[in-house]
């Protein structure tokens, strides 16, 4: 006899609360945390760096998913720092996969649970199945495996926690490292003053365009309610879902430890990381329009990895941000248009910006 596979349904948090929150002096709503789940399947005691963005993302994703969850993690910081011999911070089942096979491993888990439930060998409902892969894994070494899993539509949530480098092996360049982002493989010098020359790979767009039956979303650690709700929407979606989360890396990006969440907001407010949701039923993108639009210098100057940028590099970055604003249907204010002109800039080290106390070490 075949047993029915019962799916879980996770409620969404009230996002209307954003409107109720009091604006700060910059016109942004303050962080609004409505009924945050008490449970913490990702506990304290892990060994990530202080201020680690991926650790914040792991905690909120697992709060959103709850206790009936199984997690896989391909090799990367969040495998290495979270699992030393006989010790992990998880209170839910967790498995390490090779860096290239997060997608295929997770497909196997999903197919295995379906089969076990049908045969009556797993008593509960279908669990929340999540893989959280770094950008080196999801956008590069393990891209094919994740794409295969999305295409076959396994019922699981595939997440890329994006710290824009291969962090665990010593901050090497990855496909999502931004233009001019300094890594050990993209040093700047006389022959190449910019450092990294290519723009970042647009991973989330690739996933949405290439797998139009999947729920796909982008988010950052700057927006906890958005992150939690998109995790839950991805899990509630029957079939494969992909979420791309911007997660600053304190060690690799060289910024003040307490600024991780602020960076998660500024990257959106400066137009460098559009936040959106792709609805497969409508085949439509829904864009978040931030209430504040900033020059890119407000984001760049907080981080040491951009400290070498010259006026022409800053102008190129502003041009890229302005194209993003247009892509998501927002007007580009005159001040930001003018920022496309190198003559409007100094070296990044000498640029003025709104919060000088947060200037990145070395920037
Ligand atoms: C096939 C393979 N190549 C290289 C490595 C070495 N390696 C281990 S962790 C890592 C970095 C992974 O980067 P990412 O996926 O972005 O995760 P992060 O460390 O940034 O969290 C690399 C290259 C490996 N484990 N397997
Ligand atoms: S190197 Fe970066 S991603 Fe890795 S634990 Fe440290 S802050 Fe987190
Ligand atoms: Mg990475």
Cβ of residue 78 lying under 6 Å from some atom of ligand 1: yes
Confidence of residue 10 (pLDDT cuts 50, 70, 90): very high
Return the half-sphere exposure (C-beta side, CA atoms, 13 A cut-off) of residue 289: 8
- The protein residue whose alpha carbon is closest to atom 6 in ligand 2 is 49
Beta bridge partners of 244: 160, 218
Using alpha carbons only, give the angle 180, 54, 50 rounded to the nearest 5 degrees.
Answer: 90
Q: Which ligand 2 atom minimizes the distance to the CA of 77?
A: 4
User: Which residues, 6+ apart, have CB-to-CB distance to 324 below 8 Å?
Assistant: 271, 272, 274
| Higher-scoring residue by pLDDT: 16, 262 | 262
Report the predicted TM-score, pTM, of the whole model to 2 decimal places: 0.95
d(CA 85, CA 95): 13
- Token pair belonging to 223: 């927006």
Which ligand 1 atom lies nearest to the CA of residue 137? 15
Residue 19 has pLDDT above 70, yes or no: no
358: pLDDT strictly greater than 80: no
CA of 120 from ligand 3 middle (Å) equals 39
- Best residue among 48, 57, 247 to mutate for probing ligand 2's pocket (most ligand atoms within 8 Å of CB) is 48
30: pLDDT strictly greater than 90: no
Residue 18: band (very low, low, confident or very high) from pLDDT cuts 50, 70, 90: very low
| Mean pLDDT over each residue of the chain, to the nearest integer | 92
89 Cβ below 6 A of ligand 1? no
Residue 188 CA to residue 60 CA, distance in Å, equals 36
Q: Which two tokens stand for residue 138?
A: 């999801």
Residue range 193-244, pLDDT digits in tens? 999 999 999 999 999 999 999 999 999 999 998 999 999 999 999 999 999 9
**What is d(CA 130, CA 344) in angstroms, rounded to the nearest whole number?**
46
Angle at 330 between CA 329 and CA 334, to 5 degrees: 140
Expressed in angstroms and rounded, the spacing between residue 355 Cα and the centre of ligand 3 is: 27
Across the range 271-276, mean pLDDT stands at 98
Specify the residue with its C-alpha closest to ligand 1, atom 3: 99
Is pLDDT at 273 greater than 60 in this prediction?
A: yes
Q: What is the mean pLDDT of residues 91-111?
A: 97
Query: What phi, psi does 177 have (nearest 5°)?
Result: -60, 130
Report which ligand 1 atom has the smallest distance to the Cα of 168: 19
- Is the separation of the CB atoms in 46 and 94 below 8 Å? no
| Averaged pLDDT for residues 244-260 | 95
């Amino acid at each position: 006899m075949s047993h029915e596979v019962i799916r879980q349904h996770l409620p969404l948090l009230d996002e209307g609360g954003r409107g109720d929150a009091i604006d700060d002096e910059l016109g942004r709503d303050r962080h609004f945390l409505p009924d945050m789940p008490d449970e913490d399947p990702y506990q304290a005691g892990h060994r990530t760096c202080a201020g680690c963005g991926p650790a914040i993302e792991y905690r909120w994703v697992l709060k959103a998913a709850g206790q009936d969850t199984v997690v896989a993690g391909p090799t990367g910081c969040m495998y290495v720092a979270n699992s030393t011999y006989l010790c992990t911070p998880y209170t839910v089942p967790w498995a390490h996969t090779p860096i290239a096979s997060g997608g295929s491993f997770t497909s196997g888990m999903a197919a295995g649970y379906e089969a076990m439930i049908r045969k009556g060998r797993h008593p509960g409902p279908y669990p929340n199945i999540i893989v959280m892969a770094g950008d080196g894994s999801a956008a590069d070494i393990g891209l094919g495996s994740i794409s295969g899993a999305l295409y076959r539509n396994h019922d699981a949530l595939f997440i890329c926690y994006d710290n824009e480098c291969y962090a665990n092996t010593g901050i090497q360049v990855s496909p999502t490292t931004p233009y001019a982002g300094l890594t050990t493989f993209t040093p700047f010098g006389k022959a190449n003053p910019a450092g990294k020359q290519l723009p970042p790979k647009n991973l989330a767009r690739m996933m949405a365009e290439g797998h139009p039956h999947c729920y796909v979303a982008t988010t950052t650690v700057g927006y906890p309610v958005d992150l939690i709700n998109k995790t839950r929407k991805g899990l509630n979606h029957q079939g494969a879902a992909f979420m791309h989360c911007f997660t600053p890396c304190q060690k690799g990006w060289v910024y003040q430890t307490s600024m991780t969440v602020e960076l998660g907001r500024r990257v959106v407010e400066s137009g460098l990381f559009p936040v959106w949701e792709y609805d497969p039923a409508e085949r439509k993108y829904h864009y978040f329009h931030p209430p504040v639009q900033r020059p890119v210098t407000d984001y760049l100057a907080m981080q040491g990895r951009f400290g070498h940028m010259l006026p022409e590099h800053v102008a190129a970055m502003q041009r890229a941000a302005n194209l993003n604003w247009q892509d998501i249907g927002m007007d580009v204010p005159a001040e930001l248009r003018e920022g496309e002109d190198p003559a409007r800039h100094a070296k990044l080290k000498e640029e003025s910006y709104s919060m000088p106390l947060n200037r990145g070490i070395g920037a």
